[in-house]
Structure 1
C-alpha cells in the first residue's frame, strides 16, 4: 500500500477508535449500557478488520509479526464481554500505529527537505538570451545563470570571477564556501552571494545531487534489520503470551485474567521503537554529510571493528599538490609559477589544475595563454604575453627546446616532476605529490576511540609509495600493489579472522571491495559512480573525518533502540505478570501498555538529537 494511503488509513482508524471509545463512555455515564457496548464495538471492529487484513498479507509474504497479539487481545476482549477494554486496545493500537508513522515522518524530515530542494528547471544562456528550460534539456558545456538563492541544478564550474555557495544541505558545514573562476560547483549547493555563471560539466541525471536523491530514496525504503529480527522471534513471544494467559485462566478459572494478559502484551515496543530510532539515526547522519543507505548498514556500522582504507583519494587527497619549486636563471619561484600556471589554464590535466589553483591561492593574476598546443599526457606549449612557454614532463620539454636528454632527478615515492621552459631555455622544475590528508593522525586516533581495533591500508600503488605516505601513522598493516580481486580477498580474510569489516574507497577499482565489505564507504558523491553504487555509506564531501560522526550516530541510534526495547519489554512483562495475578484489569492493562508504547517511541526519537563528540573535539 502506498505510504500516503497508509498514513490516511491510520488516521481514519484512529479517529474511528477515538470516537467509538468517547461515545461509549458518554452513553455509559448517561445510563445507556447497551448503546455504550454497541458504540465500543463499532470503534473496535474496523480496527480489528484492518489489522486482520494486514496480518493475512504479512503471512502471504512469509512474515509473522507481533500484530497477531493485538488481534488476539481485541478478539478475546470482545468475546468475553470486555468491550471497554477492547475499545481501549483499539485506540491504543491505532494510536500507536499513527504515532509510529508520525515519528518516522519526523525522523525523515531532513531527508525530505533534501528531496524537496531538487530543482526542476534552470536558466540557460542561449543566443544572447536567458531561457528557462527543463533540467533534462541541460547538456555538458551549457552556460547557466545561477541567481542569488537558486540551487545549483547540475555539477559544473564557476565561469564568473567568484561564487559564494551554501553547501550546508549537503555537507552540514554552516559557513559559506567561496569559489573562484574554474573551481567545481556541486549540484544541490545554494547560491548565497551574487548571481554567477555556471559551466555545466555533467547532465542532471549524472550530477551529484541527483545521485544523492537516488540514495536517499533507497534509504527511505529500507526496513530495519532489528525489526526483521523481531518478526523472526515473534512466534516465541506469542507462545509465551498465550501460555501465560492460558495458565492464568486455567489456574483461576477467570477468563478475564487471560484477556488482561493479552491486552498488556500488545503491541510490543519492539515493533515501534527499533524502526523509529534507526530511521532517526539515518536522518541525523544525513545532517552531517553522511548518507547511509538504510537501517541495515546503519546497524552494521555501529558494530564495525576492522577498517580497510584505500590510499588515493581516501587517505590522500587524490589531487596532486605542489611540494617544491626550483627556479633557474634569476627567476623567482613566483615568476616560474606564474608562467607555468598561465599556460596550464589551457589544460584539464589534474596536475595542470593543481598548478593553476596553487598560483591563484598565492595571489597571482594569471594571463590568458595563446597558440596553445597540448600533447595529451606529456605537456603543452604556448605563449604567455610575449614569452614562449613549455611545461610538462622533462623529456617532453627537452625535445621542444632542442636540449639534451635530461638527467633523472631523484624524487620521493609518489612524486612527479613538471619541467618549465621559457623562450627556449629550461627555467626550472615544479615537484608535485599526492599529499596525505590533513588531520589523518587525529582521525585514526578518533576511530580507535570509537572501537575500531584494526586499521589497515590497501592500495594498488607500489610498496615504496605506500610506505612513504603512511610513515608515522597508527596502522596495523599496509598492503600494496593489490588488484581489485586481491582487495576483495583481503576483505574476506579479515572478516574471517577479525569479524565485520568496513572498506573506504573512491575509485572504480574499489567497487568490488566495497560491495564485499560488511560496510562499504564511498568517498564523496563526486567520486566514481561505481563505488557510490556499491557502497552502503556515501560521504557527501571528500572529508574522511566525516566517518567519525557517522559511526557515533550509528552507535548512538542502535544503543537508543536497544534501550527502548529492553525497557519496553521489561515493563510489558511485568505488566503481564501483574495481570495474570489479578492486579490489573483489562482496561488498566490497556492504559498501561499505551503509556509504555508512547514512552518508547519518544525515547527512540532521541536519536534525532545525537550530538557527535568528534565534532566538538575537532573544533577545539
Structure 2
C-alpha cells in the first residue's frame, strides 16, 4: 500500500510540474520549449495507463482508462501537448486520491481497533484497579465484566464463562468455557463477570493480531471499481465510434480527438476517490469503522437498519444525582449505602453501574470485592 501511495504521489507531482512548467514557459514566449515540457509531463501518465490497462486485461477486466490512454496518445500525436498534460494531471489526481483513500482507511481502521479496549480491570495487591493494556503481564489476574472485551489471552479461573467469539470465528452462538480453559483476546464476555489469568501481554495476544490481519487485508484488497468502469464494455466502443464518425464527416482528426477527450471520464476519475476519502474520514471521526468504498456502495442500497441503542446511538454518560432511601435502608447512612452498592456494581458493565462506582470513587470510598455474583440481563 505504501509503494502504491508513493508511486501515485510521484506521478501527480511530476505531471503537475510539467503542466505548470509548460504554462510558465508559454507565458515567457518559449512556445516550443513549453510544448516539450507538457509532453514530458504527460509521458509518465501514459506509461502508468499502459501498465494499468495491461494488468486489467490479464485479469480479463475492462475499464474506461483506455479512453484516457487514447486521449493522451492522440493529443501527443496531433501536437496538442497542453491537452495531453491536462488529462495527465486529472488522471494522476484521481490515482493520488484513490491511494489516499486506501491509506486513510487502513490508518483509521487500525486506530479504531487499537482503541478498543483501552484498559482492563486487574488485581494489584488484593485490590481491583483499572490498568492500561500496556501494563498487563503474563500471570496477572483479571476481572472481565459482562459485555467487556477480553484484553489479553489467558485461562479462566472461574467455574464457567460465557464468551461471544463472533468477532473472531463468526460463530453467532456464545460458547461456554470451564475453569482452566484457554480464552482469546478480542472475544466478548456474554455472561456474568468472571476472572482469568493472563498468559500473554495485550500486544502479543489474539486481539493485536486482528489489527495485523486488517492491515494485510488492506494490502491485498483489489482497487475499487470506478463507476464508469461498469459501463466500459459499451461506453468505450460507442465513444470511439462517435469519434471515428466525427473524423469521417469533418475530415479533421482534431474533431475525433475532441470527442475522445470529452468522453474521457475525468470527473468520474476524480469524483469517486474524493467521495470515498470524505466518507471514510467523516465516519472515522464519528467512531464508525468502514472497510472501503464497497461497503459504502452497499450501504447506499440499504433500506432498513437495526441498531442496539445503548452505546451505539446514545453518547451520554449517566451520573448519580441523589440517593433515595427505603424504610429498610434507614439503618445505614448514605455513605455506607453507596459503598455497598458500588462494591456490588463493580462486577457489572452496565452504564448505570459505572455511574454508581464513579460516584463512590469520587467520594474516596473503599470498595469491597463481592463473591458469587450473578447478573441477569433484562
TM-score relative to the length of structure 1:
0.38
Give me the whole-angstrom Cα distance separating, in 1, the residues matched to 2:240 and 2:350: 74
Who is 1:284 aligned against?
Answer: 282
Q: Give the C-alpha shift of residue 282 in structure 1.
A: 0.8
Q: Give the C-alpha shift of residue 376 in structure 1.
A: 5.8
Structure 1 counterpart of 2:371, from 363, 369, 374: 374
Who is 1:233 aligned against?
Answer: 231
| Equivalent residue runs for 1:504-523 within 5 Å | none
| Equivalent residue runs for 1:434-449 within 5 Å | 434=378
Give me the whole-angstrom Cα distance separating, in 1, the residues matched to 2:308 and 2:255: 62
| Alignment deviations for residues 493-518 of structure 1 (CA, whole Å, 9 cap, x no partner) | xxxxxxxxxxxxxxxxxxxxxxxxxx
| Alignment deviations for residues 446-487 of structure 1 (CA, whole Å, 9 cap, x no partner) | xxxxxxxxxxxxxxxxxxxxxxxxxxxxxxxxxxxxxxxxxx
Q: Give the C-alpha shift of residue 245 in structure 1.
A: 0.8
| Alignment deviations for residues 252-278 of structure 1 (CA, whole Å, 9 cap, x no partner) | 222221122222322432122112112
Give me the whole-angstrom Cα distance separating, in 1, the residues matched to 2:370 and 2:63: 69
Give me the whole-angstrom Cα distance separating, in 1, the residues matched to 2:62 and 2:110: 33
Preserved CA contact (<8 Å) 1:325 1:333: no
Q: Alpha carbons of 1:223 and 1:329: their partners in 2 closer, same or farther (altered >3 Å)?
A: closer
Q: Alpha carbons of 1:259 and 1:311: their partners in 2 closer, same or farther (altered >3 Å)?
A: closer
Instruction: Look up the SS of the partner of 1:246 in the other structure.
Output: helix
Who is 2:94 aligned against?
Answer: 100
RMSD of equivalent CA atoms: 5.3
| Alignment deviations for residues 502-541 of structure 1 (CA, whole Å, 9 cap, x no partner) | xxxxxxxxxxxxxxxxxxxxxxxxxxxxxxxxxxxxxxxx
Give me the whole-angstrom Cα distance separating, in 1, the residues matched to 2:39 and 2:335: 89
Structure 2 residues without counterparts, runs of 5 or longer: 116-123, 125-132, 142-149, 153-199
Who is 2:129 aligned against?
Answer: none
Q: Give the C-alpha shift of residue 248 in structure 1.
A: 0.9
Who is 1:337 aligned against?
Answer: 337
Who is 2:272 aligned against?
Answer: 274
Aligned length: 301
Give me the whole-angstrom Cα distance separating, in 2, the residues matched to 1:23 and 1:314: 54
Q: Alpha carbons of 1:45 and 1:308: their partners in 2 closer, same or farther (altered >3 Å)?
A: closer
Q: Give the C-alpha shift of residue 67 in structure 1.
A: 1.4
Instruction: Look up the SS of the partner of 2:306 in the other structure.
Output: strand
Preserved CA contact (<8 Å) 1:245 1:262: yes
Who is 1:581 aligned against?
Answer: none
| Alignment deviations for residues 559-613 of structure 1 (CA, whole Å, 9 cap, x no partner) | xxxxxxxxxxxxxxxxxxxxxxxxxxxxxxxxxxxxxxxxxxxxxxxxxxxxxxx
Instruction: Look up the SS of the partner of 1:291 in the other structure.
Output: coil
Q: Give the C-alpha shift of residue 92 in structure 1.
A: 1.6
Q: Alpha carbons of 1:230 and 1:352: their partners in 2 closer, same or farther (altered >3 Å)?
A: closer
Give me the whole-angstrom Cα distance separating, in 1, the residues matched to 2:136 and 2:314: 33
Give me the whole-angstrom Cα distance separating, in 2, the residues matched to 1:311 and 1:19: 53
2:8 equivalent to 1:7: yes
Structure 1 residues without counterparts, runs of 5 or longer: 120-125, 127-134, 144-153, 157-200, 379-415, 417-432, 435-620
Give me the whole-angstrom Cα distance separating, in 1, the residues matched to 2:223 and 2:48: 23
Instruction: Look up the SS of the partner of 2:61 in the other structure.
Output: coil
| Equivalent residue runs for 1:375-524 within 5 Å | 375=372, 377=374, 434=378
| Alignment deviations for residues 357-398 of structure 1 (CA, whole Å, 9 cap, x no partner) | 5265266553354xx7833649xxxxxxxxxxxxxxxxxxxx
| Equivalent residue runs for 1:314-329 within 5 Å | 326=326, 328=328
Structure 1 counterpart of 2:84, from 90, 97, 115: 90
Who is 1:60 aligned against?
Answer: 58
Q: Give the C-alpha shift of residue 324 in structure 1.
A: 8.3
| Equivalent residue runs for 1:13-32 within 5 Å | 13-14=14-15, 17-18=18-19, 21=22, 25=26, 29=29
| Higher strand residue share | 1
